[in-house]
Structure 1
Amino acid sequence: MQVLNKGTPVNYKESCIIRIQPVDGDNISSLRDALRCIPDDQSCTLILEHGDYHFYSDHATELFCFVSNNSEGLKRIAVPLIGIHDLTIDGQGSRLIFHGRVCPFLIRNCTGITLKNFSVDYVRPFVSQGTIQAVDTEAVTVRMDTENPYYFDGGRIWFSGDCYHQQGCQNGKLFKRDSFLHCLEFDTHKRETAYGVQDHYKMPASGVSEIEEGLIRLATSYPTPLPQIDNTLVISHDHRDCFGVCIDESSEVTIEGVDIYHTGAMAFIAQRSDTISLLSCTVAPHPNNGRMVSSFADASHFVNCRGLIRIIGCRFENMLDDPVNVHGIYSPVCRIIDKHTIEVMNGHHEQAGIPVADRGAEIRFVDQNSLLPIAHGMVKRVESINRFTWRVEFVNALPSVIRTGDCIESLQWVPDVEIRDCVFGKNRARGPLISTAGSVKIEGNHFHHAGSAIKISGDCNDWFESGAVKDVLIRNNIFDNCGYGKWGTGIIAIDPEIRPSHLGHNAYHQNISLIENEFRTFHQELIFARSVDGLIIQGNRIEKTRDYPEKETTFEGLKTEACLHVQSDLPSC
């Protein structure tokens, strides 16, 4: 097999194996040339010979992307895989280094794609950080890291750096830059969110001043507890614009041995896709650069997917949101047009452009207050009015019980989930969020989170994330000192957002088992469960620790609300 000389683009193909080597400067053109060589009628392997591959936004492909739970918009894509089938990209341990506002991978309308054996990082991260030097009730003083440059213009601070203001956002370099900053304190030595902290949102960028070069003062009334001197303050000044890998309308996608050290949105986001595997992947800061944050949002997120989602042997740490989220979408009814037709909307602004249903799909109507099903229907036709509004026509007449404000949920997107042998933690917020009626197995994992380790919810009034679970097994996991922050009630939080006045005799979730897990904990808020029919809690071990200060608790052991058929060997209240 021939190996190309350094600096040569793509000009060799044998048995559908294509090899490239890194070039000096931008590698986007040479990789694009390689993709053009892929045949339509047979499987192919694209091998990146080991090395450093740099990618800039200047010549990246520009596409408008609706990405659920991320920011919609015109994006620059380094590696767009569109309508490709049976392709493996093997990085051979290479480093993919990104400069500026460019998204690494988009997989759209593809089948049989494998990405493996490479890492992803950015020269300039999408957050800034510095060491806390002084704190009082009116301000925080921070010594900024040198890799996070900034300047002042128009009476406020702006953050800059390697290609940070290049193309990739609309209407010039300052488009969509908030006039507010969001701050979060990290424990410098533990490299995790600091004990007891909460988000400090919407701090005016105009309230920042410079004391001397590299030393800034943030005038703000910081929420208690006040930040600690020598801890690290992370400042978010961007949107969820630059995902790592987006899987859209695709099937049979495997990502193996891929290390993502930083992204400007979610590291892995999949929507309307079938059968996805994340195997031995890492989302965590590079161990040698001192950064506190890996992905700007979730490590992995799956919206309206089906088939089997496998997350095996992965390590997801230091994200600004959760390691895993699997859910569907509740779409509120905003108008009843006639006896067969309704108008519905995407309930959350980050669901823009995501279809609410498909022709021939079975739909469940859900009461917005109780979250319980009230009717079913079969879709005859779907018409997009705009990116938030959809006209849905049904085969049969609408049930008379349907009201505006109720939601629809498509039942064609119900994945099974297997999460096994993973390490999750040190991130803002929680562990995995699970909302699917498929079979869910969470086994042999290690959790260490500021909030709840596992959250099973569902809501029709905020993020509009469906749906009710039917078969969840949580077994042989270690829950290691979870709950040292403000995100969640209980190490395990089963908390569908049902208004108290609508908690009734019928439960929202069903058949959840927590068996033979180990809880290493400095507090006793173990499991909170609301509206579950069939809850089994047996054989779990509890070890009291002193690794964090004791905190005020609202319950001990197990607390239930409106649950049926509970079998538990924990103390309950």
Structure 2
Amino acid sequence: MPTLFDVTDFGVLPGSHVDAAPGVRAALRAAGDVAGPVVLRFPPGDYHLWPDDAQRRELYVSNTVGDDPRHSVKAIALLVEATDDLVISGEGARLVLHGLQTTFAVIDSRRVRVEGLEFDFAVPTVVDATVADAGVAAGRAYRLIRVPAATLFSVEGASIRWHGETLASGAVAWSGRDALEYTQIHDPVRGRTSRGPNPLFDRVRSIRPVGERDVRIDYEHAEEPADLGLVYSMRSTTRDHPGGLVLDSSDVTLSRLRFRFLHGFGVVAQTSRDVSVEGCEFQTPPDSGRHSAGFADFVQFSGCSGEAVVRDCLFDGPHDDPINIHGTYLRVTGQPDRRTLELDYPHPETAGFPQFSPGDRIELVDRATLQAIASATVRTVRQPSGRAHDQPLRTIVVTVDAELPDDLAGRTAVENVTRTPTVRIARNIFRNVPTRGVLVTTRRAVLIEENRFERTGMAGIYVSCDADEWWESGPVRDLTIRGNEFIEPGGPAIFLDPTNTRSDPGHPVHSGVVVEENRFVLDGVPALDAKSTDGIRFRNNGIVRLGRQTPDIVLRSCSDVGVEVDGDAGRGKPAGDFPLLLEAD
């Protein structure tokens, strides 16, 4: 039988506004000291956690702030560290975070399950401003914008300062002015969210508050605004924390969690094995006036292995991709000898964590073609630890067991092909997404089935492989997309688009892609757009066309493609009703 702990045994009082961080830390420490299974329970109620007494760790996390020393130390509200066989259970418990924090982190742990909790921020770091009224009065345009009750602001002349709470130190957690650095726009009538320009603070004459939640903005011009009802979601672009973190851990399950807001870069599973996200909600609280549930992505797997599972979840209102699963290409910068490679992290938002262990298999690719030119096994490695800055944070040196070709520097990239997961993404709903629904690049088996993609701003499913911009590796070899619904995506419903600049159908980047029994409702975009892919099978899919007619399938430098159009599996009109295939070089 597991040992049972209750956070109230450590002085934590549900419903109190007293900082629960010290008591929660003591409860987690006690749970970690027990040999054998432990259940730690949060009774129903609200728990407030402030950053002043939060656990802090120096951590380097993929796709956040790279090696920027200003943000190397993360505040963590709920830290599980070097702990095995732990269940954290909290049905009806709501953890309210203050300031800037990571909601939870599971580090160096095995067999951990977190279930039933709700996470939210007292003051979200995204400002959702709804145009509640607009028009022209006395020859000048105006808007009345309404912000959620959780949003803090002050009007200062003809400007608005948005800000977080005042911490115990006296400092304000965060602040920014007017449109901040980034905006996306939600249209609740059309059910679409997209990136775009923000006109709220252009040519402003005056700003004044109207009550507690409304602000009137008057302009120097008389052009009547045409955006009544739209929501402008504004934020900075610094991903200083991961929203949640599973780091160097295995057999971790996140179950029935409700993420009402995630600051920073979503829930990141990094260099971990066998991680599942099941039955979770990523959505703002009902009737809160808020739209944005995430500052960036919702879920990311980076350099993971074993099985990555995301099933039965709702993804509603991110500021980037709901799911992204990838490895990391490292650029070859030097070659001291035939068995030694000098590597670096080329993207400014990713650096500082280890990539290899002795015995890992690596593959070198030509960056222009993304074709493998050599492979080897790692013998020794000098690299950052991911936890400290005592080693260089952007460079890695590896030695391998075999002689490599000459002249690799600059033109090649390296991927750790040992740290690649199998993937299952099933029965999820994607809604109010400005970008893609799912990004996935892994050479092991991928199954994406029975999901619903509603009006994504770009592709529903995007498969890249990129040694040029984001450096997210690698190719797909076994990808099945089955039984999904794609409702009016803003780009190709399924987009296979590696970044190779030289393509040859005889040497594809991707292979083994099956698209079957899906339903597509499309307006001016193809069901499938594929580049440099071998062995595509497109069968028993139903396609309904709205508005502009375009080819159902676009192929670029593809080979061995099989398309079946003799039925629609009872899902709308068969693909053959409209132009079927466009070959493009």
Query: For the superposition of Structure 1 and Structure 2, which TM-score range results when normalised by the shorter chain?
Result: 0.7 to 0.9
Q: 1:156 to 1:390 in 2, by over 3 A?
A: farther
How far off its partner does 1:152 sit?
Answer: 6.5
TM-score by length of 1: 0.86
Q: Is the 8 A contact 1:477 1:518 kept in 2?
A: yes
Q: Does residue 215 of structure 1 match 2:215?
A: yes
Give me the whole-angstrom Cα distance separating, in 1, the residues matched to 2:179 and 2:289: 27
Find the partner of 1:67 among 61, 66, 72.
Answer: 61
Q: Deviations over 1:30-83 (max 9, x none)?
A: 111111222342110001111111111111012122111123522211111111
Cα contact 2:28–2:79 (8 A) shared by 1: no
Distance 1:181 1:293, change over 3 A: same
| Distance across 2 between alignment mates of 1:20 and 1:219 | 53
1:314 and 1:162 map into 2 onto residues whose CA distance is 31
Confirm or deny: 8 A CA contact 1:243 1:269 kept in the other structure. yes
Per the alignment, residue 285 of structure 1 pairs with 284
Distance 1:238 1:468, change over 3 A: closer
Distance 1:156 1:176, change over 3 A: closer
Q: What letter corresponds to residue 374 of structure 2 in structure 1?
A: A
Aligned to 1:54: 48
Change (3 A) 1:258 1:140: farther
Alpha carbons of 1:134 and 1:81: their partners in 2 closer, same or farther (altered >3 Å)?
same
1:297-344 Cα distance to aligned partner (Å, 9 max, x none): 111100000101111211111111111111001111122223322221
Q: Which residue pairs with 2:568 in the alignment?
A: none
The question of 1:412 aligning with 2:418 is answered yes
What's the counterpart of residue 557 of structure 2? Answer: 562
Whether 1:19 and 2:6 are equivalent positions in the alignment is yes
The 2-side partners of 1:277 and 1:175 are apart by 35
Note the 1:154-553 alignment, pairs <5 A: 157-163=160-166, 181-189=181-189, 192-193=192-193, 197-200=194-197, 210-213=206-209, 215=215, 228-384=227-383, 385-400=391-406, 402-448=408-454, 449-483=456-490, 488=491, 490-499=492-501, 501-545=502-546, 550=547
Query: In the superposition, relative to structure 1, how do residues 227 and 122 fare at CA in structure 2: closer, same or farther (>3 Å)?
Result: farther
For the structure 1 residues 394 and 521, does the alpha-carbon distance in structure 2 shift closer, same or farther, using more than 3 Å as the test?
A: same
Q: Name which of structure 1's ranges 451-460 and 261-270 shifts more when overlaid on structure 2.
A: 261-270
**Alpha-carbon separation, structure 2, partners of 1:353 and 1:220:** 48
TM-align CA RMSD: 3.0
Look up the SS of the partner of 1:211 in the other structure: strand
CA shift digits 1:74-98 (9 cap, x unpaired):
2211111111111000002211111
- Looking at structure 1, the residues matched to 27 and 331 of structure 2 have their Cα atoms a distance apart, in angstroms, of 45
Q: Render the CA deviation track for 1:335-382: whole Å, top value 9, x for unaligned.
A: 222332222111212211122322221110011111111111222222
2:36 paired with 1:42: yes
Secondary structure of 2:349's counterpart equals helix
User: Partner amino acid for 1:63?
Assistant: R
Q: Distance in 1 between matches of 2:231 and 2:402?
A: 58
Give the total of aligned pairs.
536
Deviation at 1:219, TM superposition (A): 9.1
> In the alignment, which residue of structure 2 is the partner of 1:148?
151
Counterpart of 1:95 in structure 2 is: 94
Separation (CA, whole Å) in 2 of partners of 1:227 and 1:477:
35
CA shift for structure 1 position 288: 2.2
The Cα of 1:233 is off from its aligned counterpart by 0.9
Letter in 2 for 1:44: V
Residues 166 and 173, structure 1, Cα contact 8 Å, conserved in 2: no
Higher mean alpha-carbon deviation, 354-363 vs 415-424, is at 354-363
SS of the equivalent of 1:350 reads coil
Q: Tell me the TM-score normalised to structure 2 length.
A: 0.85
* Mapped contact 1:346–1:356 kept (Cα < 8 A): no
Mapped to 1, the partners of 2:153 and 2:538 lie a distance apart of: 52
Q: Which runs of 5+ in 2 are unaligned?
A: 66-70, 384-390, 565-574
Deviation at 1:451, TM superposition (A): 1.3
Distance 1:176 1:280 in 2: 35
- The percentage of aligned residue pairs carrying the same residue is 26
The residue identity in structure 1 corresponding to 2:557 is A
Q: Does the C-alpha gap of structure 1 residues 337 and 172 become closer, same or farther in structure 2, counting only changes over 3 Å?
A: farther
Deviation at 1:418, TM superposition (A): 0.8
| Larger displacement relative to structure 2 (357-366 or 318-327) | 357-366
The alpha-carbon deviation at position 175 of structure 1 amounts to 9.2
Which sections of structure 1, spanning at least 5 residues, go unmatched?
1-13
